[in-house]
């Protein structure tokens, strides 16, 4: 298969910026849980969509973004090794 033609320049994100966006998404999902039943939930989901779009535009694989969203929706980490995975951090701390 041929290479996809890029119509516009993608802004590259450093690994720290990717982790920061992932943390923001994870934080927004906690806000969703806290705001259940109120009208603020829609605004939180709009902010999550904006973060998701920014990650996709920066060239992050769609499967990686979807794994992050699935991990954030669940209360416990699914251990998929998503961006800013809390399970990976715990494993690293035990290793050190």
* 8-28 residues labelled b (16+ CB within 10 A) or e (exposed): eeeeebeeeebeebbeebbeb
DSSP state of 89: H
How many Å apart are CA 10 and CA 60, to the nearest integer? 10
| Residue 71: Cβ within 10 Å count | 24
pLDDT digits (tens, 9 = 90+) for 9-64: 666 778 788 888 888 988 898 888 888 777 888 888 999 999 999 988 888 888 88
Residue listed under structure tokens 């699914």: 78
CB atoms within 10 A of CB 47: 15
pLDDT digits (tens, 9 = 90+) for 60-86: 888 888 888 888 887 666 555 666 666
Q: pTM here? A: 0.69
CB 24 within 8 A of CB 50: no
């Amino acid at each position: 298969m041929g290479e996809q033609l890029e119509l516009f320049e993608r802004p590259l994100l450093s690994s720290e910026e990717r982790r920061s966006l992932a943390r923001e998404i994870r934080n927004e999902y906690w806000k969703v849980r806290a705001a259940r039943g109120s009208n603020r939930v829609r605004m939180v989901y709009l902010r999550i969509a904006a973060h998701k779009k920014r990650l996709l535009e920066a060239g992050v694989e769609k499967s990686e973004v979807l794994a992050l969203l699935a991990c954030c929706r669940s209360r416990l980490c699914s251990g998929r090794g998503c961006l800013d995975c809390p399970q990976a951090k715990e494993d690293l701390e035990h290793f050190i």
